[in-house]
A and B are shown apart, each in its own frame.
Chain A
Amino acid sequence: MSNSDNHLLAVQGLKKYFPIKKGMFRRTVGWVQAVDDISLYVSKGEALGLVGESGCGKSTLGKCIVKLLEPTEGKILYAGEDIWSMGSTQIKSYRRKVQAIFQDPYSSLNPRMSVGGIVGEPLKVHSLHTSFEQKLKVNNLLKKVGISPDYTSRYPHELSGGQRQRIGIARALALQPELIICDEPVSALDVSVQAQVINLLDDLKEEFKLSYLFIAHDLSVVEHVSDRIAVMYLGKIVEVAKDTELYSNPLHPYTKALLSAIPIPEPRRKKKRTILQGEVPSPINPPSGCRFHTRCPETKEICFQNEPPMKIMTPQHYVACFNYL
């Protein structure tokens, strides 16, 4: 795509298929095409939002990037280097630079470890400091995320959901990463706490010049946090645009439907709603041609047979739809 020099992370033609095994000999009878030929990039200091409904493969993509899953095909380049052909020292440094924050603050913290232990563990694993320095560092990190250092000896069950999410963020920050993969970081939180965590993520991005890959299903949250947004549907990216552009000039019918489906807390603003018929098809046997054609209000004949290629509308706005070819 565009000048690739300042791309911190570049995903090229990534595919991740999960085998479906059946029968006595666990033969592979089919594949779940969770992520199917995805290309995207995240520049330095940029927050790229990734939205889509459940099962569209957005979390699988995130897991491939943090090396929790090995992709079936395709490349993930970090600062120009393929993360799957790195040597062990390089991998260690990659793991330091790329961190993750997960959705469920209840299951992503070890209940047997104290807050200090959780936040300090990355420092220990990478043996970066003396134990005294580590303690100071942990206290600083906790302060950064708005938690009093008195909490170091407490355990996760003593904390509220919002506080736990802050601990998760502090842990991700411990190694001074460059890129953080945020997988639904606020969707388990209450509205008033959600705003606190979003603001915290915004502030940290400014302060530490972080890049985010912000994965979420809530388009209004994604729009708020991200500089650019990619919309995913059934393992594919259907549209990528700048945040304001995606809202003011959505091109793909799926993006339009997503935008119109969100209830807005302004009773006077009556909007015309496009209600999509049907449901997201299964990624085991995705529809032929354009994957969205089964629900698309603007289907043409060609959509049934051919897959639409990604078209560059403007340098920052790509869309995969036959309407624009």
Chain B
Amino acid sequence: MPQINSENKFLLNIKNLMTYFFIPEGTVKAVDDVSFHVNEAEIVGLVGESGCGKSVTALSILGLIPWPPGRIVDGQIIFQGEDLRKIGPQKLREIRGNKISMIFQEPMTSLNPVYTLGRQIAEVYIEHQASPKKEALERAKDMLDKLGIPSPSKRVYEYPHNLSGGMRQRVMIAMALACNPELILADEPTTALDVTIQAQILELMAELHQAVSTSILLITHNLGIVAEYAQRAIVMYSGKIVEEALVGPMFEEPLHPYTIGLLSSIPKLGAKATGGKKRLSEIPGMVPNLNDLPQGCYFHPRCARTRAICQSEEPELIEIDSGRRIACWAVTDGWA
């Protein structure tokens, strides 16, 4: 039931999502009041360090949060005009793997070791498009061929352990793309791979994105990948979005102290050749424990610009320019 109103032009619109984990030590607010959207045919990069809630956000979209201990406490996940939290398990199942699919980080643990690759890919077609078994297997072969896996008609009878990491990740992508989804959630798709294989996989994803104009939510801790492949970037810290901008402004003129810190703490290739050896600037301290978060802005204990207000009041995520949002007192109040 797609309605025509301004907000529904987004493919995916997440509003005030809160996913909490209830553990004996207390409540862990893994995703806390997160709102963002993904347009059609867009690659959005979701970056942050481990434990910032980026993976939990993706799992929440597909309703894959294990209860207990985790639960989506509040918020809306509007996909093509429908709130995925309200449509019920049956319809959600139809959307998963069909309209929204996911690529996980570790291809070895996300493929079933006791089934052949052909069967695992064919399952998607059988499940979602009611293809007969034989046809599904043929389509699986076509898909493997499209993804540059050599001799696909032999590969479909092989098992995941026969493949290298890069090949397994290609199989994962084949499964994710099987039904021409509108949105792919790629959770650290290349983190477990070597750089040359990473380049192959990313290039492949970019080509597929061009060819079928699928939207991709690219979740990664690697800022370089976001800069090269995404159009828009969202930075998360301790369960909250701290900054959002188009990739150009985000990397050339980051505003949030955390984004600035992250960008200047990675060694840049060739920096020595052009400007002498510089010391890396570091963000002092470490990521706070999610069940013992500081008062006020979560970043304030590590931030160089901290003032009194940061310690007591949490900054809101404010749109300061079209498409550019930031949660920082220093920026929104215009401190010198």
Partner-B contacts on A (CB < 8 A): 53-54, 160, 162-163, 190-196, 198-199, 202, 217-221, 223-224, 243-244, 247-248, 257-268, 273, 275-276, 279-280
User: Which B residues lie within 8 Å of A194 (CB)?
Assistant: 265-266
Q: Does B268 contact A (CB under 8 A)?
A: yes
CB of B265 within 8 A of CB of A195, answer: yes
CB of B196 within 8 A of CB of A258, answer: yes
Partner-A contacts on B (CB < 8 A): 49-50, 164, 166-167, 194-200, 202-203, 221-229, 247-248, 251-252, 261-263, 265-273, 277, 279-284, 286-287
CB of A247 within 8 A of CB of B280, answer: no
CB of B203 within 8 A of CB of A273, answer: yes
CB of A279 within 8 A of CB of B197, answer: yes
User: Which B residues lie within 8 Å of A218 (CB)?
Assistant: 195
CB distance from A268 to the nearest CB of B (A): 7
User: Which B residues lie within 8 Å of A276 (CB)?
Assistant: 196, 199-200
- Across the interface, A267 reaches (CB within 8 A) one of B200, B221, B248, B261, namely B248
Decide yes or no: A220 and B279 within 8 Å by CB, A264-B228, A267-B248, A276-B196 being known contacts. Answer: no
- Across the interface, B265 reaches (CB within 8 A) one of A162, A191, A260, A267, namely A191
- Chain B residue nearest to A194 (CB atoms) is B265
CB of B194 within 8 A of CB of A263, answer: no
Q: Could you show 19 A-B contacts with beta carbons less than 8 Å apart?
A: A54-B194, A192-B262, A192-B287, A194-B266, A195-B267, A196-B283, A198-B267, A220-B268, A243-B273, A247-B270, A248-B273, A257-B196, A261-B195, A261-B196, A264-B228, A264-B268, A265-B251, A268-B252, A279-B197
CA distance A195 to B263 in the complex (A): 11
User: Which A residues lie within 8 Å of B223 (CB)?
Assistant: 191, 265
- Across the interface, A243 reaches (CB within 8 A) one of B261, B272, B286, namely B272
CB of A195 within 8 A of CB of B202, answer: no
CB of B279 within 8 A of CB of A202, answer: yes
- Across the interface, B283 reaches (CB within 8 A) one of A195, A198, A262, namely A195
- Chain A residue nearest to B247 (CB atoms) is A267
User: Which B residues lie within 8 Å of A202 (CB)?
Assistant: 279
CA distance A20 to B195 in the complex (A): 28
User: Which B residues lie within 8 Å of A223 (CB)?
Assistant: 267, 269-272
CA distance A239 to B131 in the complex (A): 52
CA distance A173 to B4 in the complex (A): 66
User: Which A residues lie within 8 Å of B280 (CB)?
Assistant: 195, 198-199, 224
User: Which A residues lie within 8 Å of B286 (CB)?
Assistant: 160, 162-163, 192-193
User: Which B residues lie within 8 Å of A260 (CB)?
Assistant: 199
CB of A279 within 8 A of CB of B166, answer: yes
- Chain B residue nearest to A52 (CB atoms) is B194
